[in-house]
A = this chain, B = another copy of it.
Amino acid sequence: MKRTIFFQGIPGAFSHIAAIGYFGRNYTFTGLATFHDIFKEVENGRMVYGVIPVENSLAGSVVENYDLLYSHNVSVTGEYYQPIRHNLLVKKTSQKGESITLDDIHKVYSHPKALEQCVQFFRKYPHISPQAYNDTAEAARYISSAYESNIAAIASREAAELYGLEIIKEAIQDNPNNWTRFLIISSSHRDQDILAHDTMYKCSFMFTLPHKPGSLHSIIGLFANAHLNLSKIESRPIHGTTFEYVFSIDVEFHSHDYLLVRELIHSCEELTNEIKVLGYYRKAHIPRE
């Protein structure tokens, strides 16, 4: 039986593309309505994985997924950077059987974030008006089934293929450095991590601190003194309290430092109110334009 990989959205969504990018095609990919649904499936399932977005280079962290990582019994087992390319998709032919040009289009459907990221396109073609839709892939599916042919969607190349659409303009986003970082999660009932030899890893962990000067400095000092690099650090007030903060840190390390990192995180315990290791996983690279 094939293992199942869960993602949020419908086929052709960037989460689906990232899941295929990480795992390859030899799995069953299942789209769910919400991130919370993914965590429930992964927490209770065996041999299943979830792929969740945690950060976009233009839009920042997906706070909701950090909250879910903190509160659910799952482990992070990998990361993946997905470049985000927005393409303009239309039907292959109009009702009359003719091919559709930019001049024909008067409405473009997509997620408001995607529309916002293509401002220059809409400035250049003022006869085209942006129309909000729940999701990029859903917008593609919608125009493929609509009666009109003078409408377009902004979505991925994969959505164009899946819904039988044609790309009439590629990569119309303003900023080419647009990527989303995904984490791969699995049920945390797993064996001890076994790390590949001579490879760069990351450990992600979250903790809460009293609102007190110096406590963060002590924690960062543990890693600085060991010459370990922090590739992410973020603080956020905890919902409903102004006196406590939740921190999220990624530390990079070479596999031969694995036991050292475990020890350092163990030492953090007495400096924090509560600490949770999300997982140890192989470091991926940010795509470069």
Stretch of A18-26, A91-99, A194-202, A206-214 at the chain-chain interface: A206-214
Does residue A288 face the partner (Cβ distance < 8 Å to B)?
Answer: yes
Tell me the number of copies of this protein: 2
Task: State whether A213 touches B227 (Cβ < 8 A).
Answer: yes
Distance, CA A141 to CA B35, complexed state (A): 31
Does residue A270 face the partner (Cβ distance < 8 Å to B)?
Answer: no
* Across-interface contacts of A130 in B (CB, < 8 A): 134
Stretch of A69-77, A152-160, A185-193, A228-236 at the chain-chain interface: A228-236
* Across-interface contacts of A112 in B (CB, < 8 A): 111-112, 132, 134
- Annotate A108-125 by CB proximity to B: 1 below 8 A, 0 otherwise: 000110010001000000
- Annotate A128-146 by CB proximity to B: 1 below 8 A, 0 otherwise: 0010111000000000000
The one of B64, B232, B239 that contacts A235, using a Cβ cutoff of 8 Å: B232
Question: How many residues of A are in contact with the other chain, CB < 8 A?
Answer: 51
User: Min CB distance, A112 to chain B, in Å?
Assistant: 6
CB neighbors of B among A12-65 (8 A): 34, 56-64
Does residue A10 face the partner (Cβ distance < 8 Å to B)?
Answer: no
CB neighbors of B among A166-197 (8 A): 175, 177
Task: State whether A60 touches B57 (Cβ < 8 A).
Answer: no
Task: State whether A233 touches B234 (Cβ < 8 A).
Answer: yes
Task: State whether B212 touches A229 (Cβ < 8 A).
Answer: yes
Given known pairs A134-B112, A216-B220, A217-B217, the reply for A235 and B242 (CB within 8 Å) is no
User: Min CB distance, A180 to chain B, in Å?
Assistant: 12
* Across-interface contacts of A234 in B (CB, < 8 A): 233-235
Task: State whether A224 touches B230 (Cβ < 8 A).
Answer: no
Does residue A164 face the partner (Cβ distance < 8 Å to B)?
Answer: no
CB neighbors of B among A267-289 (8 A): 285-286, 288-289
The one of B235, B237, B286 that contacts A230, using a Cβ cutoff of 8 Å: B235
Distance, CA A231 to CA B238, complexed state (A): 12
Does residue A126 face the partner (Cβ distance < 8 Å to B)?
Answer: no
Task: State whether A213 touches B240 (Cβ < 8 A).
Answer: no
User: Min CB distance, A213 to chain B, in Å?
Assistant: 5
The one of B60, B134, B212 that contacts A61, using a Cβ cutoff of 8 Å: B60
Given known pairs A63-B58, A234-B234, the reply for A229 and B242 (CB within 8 Å) is no
Distance, CA A212 to CA B289, complexed state (A): 23
Task: State whether B217 touches A229 (Cβ < 8 A).
Answer: no
Task: State whether B233 touches A224 (Cβ < 8 A).
Answer: no
Does residue A258 face the partner (Cβ distance < 8 Å to B)?
Answer: no
Q: Which 4 A-B pairs have the closest CB atoms?
A: A217-B224, A60-B63, A177-B239, A132-B132
Q: Which residues of A line the B interface, CB within 8 A?
A: 34, 56-64, 111-112, 115, 119, 130, 132-134, 175, 177, 211-214, 216-218, 220-221, 223-224, 227-237, 239-242, 245, 285-286, 288-289
